[in-house]
Amino acid sequence: MMKKVGVAILGVGVVGGGTFQTLTEHREFYRQTQNVDIVVESVLDNNRARAMSIGVPEEILASSIAEVVTNPAVDIVVETIGGCGVAKDFILAALNEGKTVVTANKELISKHWHDLERAAKRNSCGLYFEASCVGGVPIIRTLLDGVQANRITHMMGIVNGTTNYILTQMTQSGAEYADALKEAQRLGYAEFDPTADVDGFDATYKLSILSSMAFHTKVPYTKIFREGIREVSSKDIAFGKELGYTLKLLAIGKNTEKGIEVRVHPTFIPSSHPLASVNDSYNAVFLTGDAVEDVMLYGRGAGSLPTSSAVVGDVIFAATHSDIKYSTFKNTATADPKTKFVTNFESAYYIRLLVEDKAGVLAKLTGIFAKYGVSIVEIAQKGEGENGRLPLIIFTHKTAENSVKNVVAKINASDLASVQSVIRVEA
Residues classed as catalytic: 206
Could you give phi then psi for residue 168, rounded to 5 degrees? -65, -45
CB 93 within 8 A of CB 117: no
* Residues shown for the chain: 427
Alpha-carbon Rg of the chain, whole angstroms? Answer: 24
376-381 and 127-128 as β-strands: parallel, antiparallel, unpaired? unpaired
152-158 and 225-226 as β-strands: parallel, antiparallel, unpaired? unpaired
Nearest residue to 307 via CA among 134, 78, 54, 109: 134
CB 296 within 8 A of CB 147: no
Spell out the alpha helix ranges (H) of 201-344.
201-215, 234-242, 304-320
CB 79 within 8 A of CB 106: no
User: 221 in helix, strand or coil?
Assistant: helix
- Contacts of residue 136, defined as CB under 8 A and 6 or more positions apart, other chains included, come to 299, 300, 301, 303, 305, 306, 307, 309, 310
User: 396 in helix, strand or coil?
Assistant: strand
d(CA 107, CA 87): 11
